[in-house]
Amino acid sequence: MTQTWLNKSIPWIIPIILLINWELVSSLELVSASLFPSPVTVLMSGWNLTVSGELFQHVLASLSRAAIGMLIGGLIGFILGILNGLSNLSFRLTDTTIQMIRNIPHLALLPLVIVWLGIDERAKIFLVILGVLFPVYINTYHGIRTVDPSFIEMGKMYNLKGWNLFKHILFPGALPSIFVGLRYALGVMWLTLIVAETIPTEEG
């Protein structure tokens, strides 16, 4: 029992030491409190914002930006992935352009996005859209193109064509890869949102 408790406690040792040192540095004013507030101050501020309802308001504003960007970017990436996975013509027409844009770090476009769209909601949502689009696109395309050919042949043997072939064979076969893309896109969404929130705003 004691050994189990010790094993569970080990991962917390370094974080606790860091918190104690953080509190000491702030309390002794080795660093300005405005630049490096103590953990106690952070907790009290968080509690006050929660009680007043202000924290919920700002969190809701940020979550709405993330959700809208994820929905739009994910949908665009999904549609492009499906089209390019099913159509060689669509792939040849659009994939090169998509890959060129993908190789530009979307967070590096922040200054340009501010110039293009200003500092309102559109800039933040656009960055999220750009961030999540490519993981969803790549994994959707990969999922469609890597469906086991024997499953496709079996579907054709049962006279499955067009939409029915897609619904019963291609889409279910591509789902694992699509979910990988969504999971990765969620991580990119949060990272992008954190950077986008550095743009001045009244909420978020």
Contact 188, 131 (CB under 8 A): yes
Asked which of 20-29, 30-39, 170-179, 192-201 is least confident by mean pLDDT, the reply is 30-39
Instruction: Look up tokens 């030491």; give the residue.
Output: 17
If asked whether residues 156 and 89 sit together in one domain, one would say yes
Contact 94, 80 (CB under 8 A): yes
Which has the closest alpha carbon to 130: 91, 97, 102, 169? 102
| 38 — pLDDT class (breaks 50, 70, 90) | confident
Is 35 within a domain? yes
Report the pLDDT value the prediction gives residue 132, as an integer from 0 to 100: 93
Tokens of 183: 């999971």
If asked whether residues 12 and 57 sit together in one domain, one would say no
| 201 — pLDDT class (breaks 50, 70, 90) | low
Is 67 within a domain? yes
If asked whether residues 109 and 71 sit together in one domain, one would say yes
Question: Is the pLDDT confidence value at 1 over 70?
Answer: no
**pLDDT tens by residue, 58-67:** 788 888 888 9
Report the pLDDT value the prediction gives residue 159, as an integer from 0 to 100: 76
**pLDDT tens by residue, 105-125:** 888 888 888 888 877 788 888
Report the pLDDT value the prediction gives residue 203, as an integer from 0 to 100: 64
If asked whether residues 31 and 114 sit together in one domain, one would say no
Give the burial class of 124: count Cβ atoms within 10 A of its Cβ; 0-12 exposed, 13-18 middle, 19 or more buried.
buried
E-strand ranges in the chain read: none
Highest average pLDDT, of 29-38, 170-179, 191-200, comes from 170-179
Question: Is the pLDDT confidence value at 204 over 60?
Answer: no
C-alpha separations of 115 from 34, 63, 103 in Å: 31, 24, 21
**pLDDT tens by residue, 129-164:** 999 999 999 999 999 988 877 777 777 777 777 778
Residue range of the domain that includes 81: 53-196
Q: Chain-wide mean pLDDT for the chain?
A: 83
Distance CA 61, CA 173 (A): 36
Domain count along the chain: 2
If asked whether residues 190 and 117 sit together in one domain, one would say yes
